[in-house]
């Protein structure tokens, strides 16, 4: 009997640990660990969708525009030069700040992002043809 109790205790502990991990996810409608562990039972009991139901669902999803909260403002896209300035500032901050400890890999990621933004800015600034330049003037 002790072995069965140990297995049940371990299963309960594992389920509680799984629930803690699920609760840390950045989503609104989280399922509980028991539902997650038994998700296949729900799927097995349901018949599959028919082809017509699938087509209908896809058509209805394509016709609907993404819902936006009326109070939420659309995101403002900043220009590449401004993003480049922010990234330069971040790289300098983390390189020379003694108060903040940063992993060299994280600093490398910032530098790669800076490089990508710089490359995008240079590519967007290139004159494509002489005709294009003359039209701008």
Q: Give the DSSP letter string of 50-71.
A: PHHHHHHHHHHHHHSPPP--TT
Question: Per residue of the chain (137 residues), what is the pLDDT tens digit?
Answer: 678 888 888 888 888 898 888 888 888 778 888 888 877 765 555 566 788 888 888 887 766 555 666 777 888 888 888 998 998 898 888 888 777 777 788 888 888 888 898 888 888 776 666 665 555 55
Question: How far is residue 52's CA from residue 54's CA, in Å, rounded to a whole number?
Answer: 5
What distance in Å separates the CA atoms of residue 14 and residue 11, rounded to the nearest whole number?
5
What helix, strand, coil percent values describe the chain, rounded to 5?
Answer: 70, 0, 30
User: Domain limits of the chain?
Assistant: 9-45, 80-127
What pLDDT was estimated at residue 127?
Answer: 63
pLDDT at 67: 61
| Angstrom distance (rounded) from CA 92 to CA 107 | 10
pLDDT for the residue numbered 94: 83
The answer for residues whose C-beta is within 8 angstroms of residue 36's C-beta and 6 or more apart is 18, 22
At 22 the pLDDT is: 86
């Amino acid at each position: 009997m002790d072995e069965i109790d140990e297995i049940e205790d371990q299963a309960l502990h594992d389920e509680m640990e799984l629930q803690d991990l699920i609760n840390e996810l950045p989503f609104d409608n989280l399922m509980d660990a028991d539902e997650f562990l038994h998700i296949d039972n729900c799927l097995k009991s349901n018949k599959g969708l028919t082809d017509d139901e699938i087509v209908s669902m896809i058509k209805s999803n394509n016709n609907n525009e993404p819902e936006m909260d009326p109070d939420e403002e659309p995101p403002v896209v900043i220009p590449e030069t401004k993003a480049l300035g922010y990234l330069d500032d971040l790289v300098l901050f983390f390189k020379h700040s003694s108060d903040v400890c940063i992993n060299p890999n994280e600093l490398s990621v910032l530098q790669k992002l800076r490089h990508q933004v710089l490359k995008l800015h240079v590519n967007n600034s290139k004159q494509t043809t002489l005709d294009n330049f003359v039209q701008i003037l």
